[in-house]
Amino acid sequence: MDLQQMRYVVAVAETRNFTRAAERCSVVQSSLSHRIAGLERELGVRLFARSSRRVEPTPAGEAFVVRARECLEAADRAVADASAAAGVVRGRLAVGVIVTAAAVDVPELLQRYRERYPQVRVVLRSGRSDDLVAAIRDGELDIAFLGLPEGQLPTGVETLVLDHDEHVLVVPAGHRLAGASRVALRDIAGETFVDFMVGTPARAQSDQAFAAAGLARDVAYEVGLVEMITRLTARGLGVALLPSAFIRPLAAGDPELALVPVVDGPHRLECLAWSRFNPSPATRAMLRVLGVTSAVNGPEAP
């Protein structure tokens, strides 16, 4: 058994297809199939159930894939650590980001990182803050940019507060409050709202502000995309509360939307989070690019 065979098995398990797995591994399908068949003979078990149309891991295959991934990750980390000790940063960096990130220009940051560390493969994943934190704890992500209710930093990860922000009221241009200089939560509690899904940190920021003010509100439209929130609001189906640093640049050129400051509205923290357990050389390099040198241990990146 060797690492290449493990890579082939993981690729087939993830793609559920020998042809796509071979393409991913840059090998001809006959070679990949031959190596997996040889591994099955060596182990004395079938790793995949095959038919002309379907490929699925057997129970033995599922158990093997779990440990194979751990072995491959350990091997990749060994190479990355050895390279870092020699002054070269290699490996993989998995970055998570919320869709309303505003404290850091993430595309510009990734461009600078790639120019400085071209031998690191960077992958990007968007999602909700709590899911991104869980992915860091589970080792699926290395670093993430989060948006959280003020005073609710996550546990089990290292964090750095990047910015404090206030929400603004987003209304259609013809709304009765479109020209207001400011509003309070009590002024808008009777409105119909468009917001993020209940239970998410993005939604909790507004829910907690209304609860603290002793007010109830009607959230008629729950969506997962900020673009849908603004589109529904522009159509006059409701109003929304969104982080000011994120929405102001977007609404500046949109004649269908108006923004109104909220004197007692929600607040949020934009945070950087990363694993507190032995961050990889690629993660330490990203922290240095971000200027977080005081929190980084390990060999210096070039």
Write the CATH number for 284.
3.40.190.10
pLDDT at 83: 61
Among the three residues 31, 52, 85, which one is the final residue of a domain in this structure?
85
Residue 157 corresponds to which amino acid? V
pLDDT at 298: 45
The verdict on residue 78 lying in a domain is: yes
Query: Could you tell me the CATH number of the domain that includes residue 14?
Result: 1.10.10.10
d(CA 209, CA 188): 12
Residue 14 corresponds to which amino acid? E
Cβ atoms < 10 Å from Cβ of 90:
20
Pair (262, 246) in one structural domain? yes
Pair (115, 146) in one structural domain? yes
Pair (72, 103) in one structural domain? no
| pTM, full prediction | 0.70
The verdict on residue 29 lying in a domain is: yes
Pair (112, 237) in one structural domain? no
Pair (285, 243) in one structural domain? no
pLDDT at 150: 86
Pair (172, 257) in one structural domain? yes
Pair (69, 136) in one structural domain? no
The verdict on residue 301 lying in a domain is: no
Pair (76, 140) in one structural domain? no
What is the mean pLDDT for each group of 10 consecutive residues in the chain (302 residues)? Answer: 89 91 89 93 92 88 91 77 68 92 94 93 93 91 93 90 95 94 96 95 94 96 94 96 94 92 94 88 92 58 41
Pair (190, 257) in one structural domain? yes
> What total of structural domains would you count in the chain?
3
Containing structural domain, residue 210: 164-267
pLDDT at 101: 93
